[in-house]
Structure 1
Amino acid sequence: MKHLLLAGLTLFPLAGQAAIPLNDDFAVQVDLTLASDYRTRGISQTQNDPTAQVGVTLLHSSGLYAGAWTSNVDFGFGLKTRQEVDYYAGWFWQANDDISLDTGYIKYAYPKEGQFNQSEVYSILSAYGFKAAAYYSSDAPTVFGKDQDTLYSYLGYETTLPADIGLKLRYGRMDFKDPLFWSQAGNGTDSYREWEAKLSYDLFEVTWGLSYIDTDLSNGQCASNYGFTDTCGATVVASVSKSF
């Protein structure tokens, strides 16, 4: 049986994006993405296959928001779920154009395989292009049952290069309560690191992206927890997205 810890979105693009106004206080934001792989925290959720993703967020002028996001998934091993559905709510506070805080709650759901469901609370501090974030879960599903505490944290940086090319950098660490990753020599570890560098460009009213993503997990460590050797390694992900 494959031992999983599954998690979807790591960022909600609530600032600086287009939205559809409903009235003076409410607006709706829709996010559409097609990508060559669905990677979250460095791990493929689609067996390195393409993904289609849709998110809808209701925004309030106070900074409160709530929404849902979905993607196709494929975990192999005959598991029936082919979809991830995330429900989230939070508060986005902006001190000025350069400093903001985003904090909230996410529920991850996997139809037909409810044993993988879990929840997280998160907080993301942004200042002058830099980001620091933390996501905590107390009910992550693993071989030990739904009592696995996890903490995902990352540091990031976003800027615009010449020719209006966007650059996003992220370096993250995923920590587990118990050792889940085992080498062929029998050495266990309870954490791994992951990183991403992404270039983006707006053309034809959509955003085109190209990411390099990798982790420090070996093939053996990857297989010991996720069941495959090729879902944790270095990859390039191409994407096209639209927000309105």
Structure 2
Amino acid sequence: MIRHVLFILPLLAGCAAAVNQPVERELGDYDLKMSYAPPRSMAQGLVQPNSGTLAHGGLDVTHSSGWYFGQWAANLDPTEGKMIKLDSYTGFKQPLDERFGYELGTLLHSYPTLSQRNVEEYYAGLSVFGSRLGAAFSLDPGRSDRTLLADLGLQDDLGFSVTLKYGNHALDNPVGVGNGRNVRVFNDWSINLVRPWLGFDLNLSYSDSSLNALECSAYSGFNRYCDGALTFKASRAL
């Protein structure tokens, strides 16, 4: 049952475009990129460093062999110094030919000014005939998360792209939801359709989870809402 329907009118994303342009340099077999936007979307689009607040930036280094590494500071705001978050990653990405390719790597979320334990994330991806398949596993304090993603690459055939995402979440300590019931494991999923139109990107998405209305108080997955939600968004970069 769809409990939420959201419509987001056109978003003008060009305000920060001037400061978000990356700086790229080549040093021998290495490509260096510095940017105010997350420099890389790993595992064929499955994992991406968080954008954080206005004060953020990162460095990405790629070798001609396919190896890469980098670090992304998701929050450098001096007024929120206690919440500094660093994403350090390394991986290997290699196209086999025009139809096939693969990627694998690891991502570490750390909080230098907090005693919070680091979060480890491992990811892998395949590209097959224009479609992208990815999987990720993360170990957070008190929980583990497994994610599957499929970008079906149907833009040329259907006129819009289709992306499916499925997550499985396991909590170390069950969460009570009343009537003596507990939630320790739950799943969530989403489907996104994106179509370019007159310079806009039209995005229609639906998300849901395995939890019912009484159990949603325990939800802490990837979606914005626990129960069924339909969202439409139109955005355009100036």
Q: Note the 1:71-110 alignment, pairs <5 A.
A: 71=74, 82=83, 84-110=85-111
Tell me the distance in 2 between the aligned counterparts of 1:100 and 1:203: 32
Q: Note the 1:68-217 alignment, pairs <5 A.
A: 68-71=71-74, 82=83, 84-110=85-111, 112-115=113-116, 117-137=118-138, 139-142=139-142, 148-161=143-156, 167-176=161-170, 178=172, 180=174, 183-185=177-179, 186-199=181-194, 201=196, 210=203, 212=205, 214-216=207-209, 217=211
User: CA-to-partner distance for each residue in 1:129-158, whole Å, 9 max, x for gaps?
Assistant: 333322223x4212xxxxx44432333323
Residues 20 and 219 (structure 1), Cα distance of their counterparts in 2 relative to 1, 3 Å cut:
farther
Note if contact 1:64-1:90 (Cα within 8 Å) is conserved in structure 2: yes
Residues 20 and 81 (structure 1), Cα distance of their counterparts in 2 relative to 1, 3 Å cut:
same
User: CA-to-partner distance for each residue in 1:94-115, whole Å, 9 max, x for gaps?
Assistant: 1112211110010012454442
Structure 2 unaligned segments of length 5 or more: list them: 1-21, 39-45
Displacement after TM superposition at 1:172 (Å): 1.3
TM-score (norm 1): 0.59
Which has the higher Rg, Structure 1 or Structure 2?
Answer: 2
Structure 1 unaligned segments of length 5 or more: list them: 1-17, 34-40, 73-78, 143-147
Note if contact 1:215-1:232 (Cα within 8 Å) is conserved in structure 2: yes
Residues 241 and 97 (structure 1), Cα distance of their counterparts in 2 relative to 1, 3 Å cut:
farther
Tell me the distance in 1 between the aligned counterparts of 2:30 and 2:122: 24
Q: How many residues get paired? A: 196
Note if contact 1:178-1:190 (Cα within 8 Å) is conserved in structure 2: no
Displacement after TM superposition at 1:93 (Å): 1.4
Displacement after TM superposition at 1:174 (Å): 2.0
Note if contact 2:151-2:161 (Cα within 8 Å) is conserved in structure 1: no
Displacement after TM superposition at 1:71 (Å): 4.0
Tell me the distance in 2 between the aligned counterparts of 1:221 and 1:177: 14
Partner of 2:60: 57
Partner of 1:22: 26
Tell me the distance in 2 between the aligned counterparts of 1:191 and 1:88: 28
Note if contact 1:153-1:172 (Cα within 8 Å) is conserved in structure 2: yes
- Which amino acid counterpart does residue 140 of structure 2 have in structure 1? A
Tell me the distance in 2 between the aligned counterparts of 1:82 and 1:168: 35
Tell me the distance in 2 between the aligned counterparts of 1:100 and 1:125: 6
Partner of 1:32: 37
- Equivalent residue of 1:22, what SS? strand
Identity of aligned residues (%): 18
Residues 222 and 102 (structure 1), Cα distance of their counterparts in 2 relative to 1, 3 Å cut:
farther
Displacement after TM superposition at 1:59 (Å): 1.3
Structural RMSD (CA): 4.4
Tell me the distance in 1 between the aligned counterparts of 2:117 and 2:236: 28
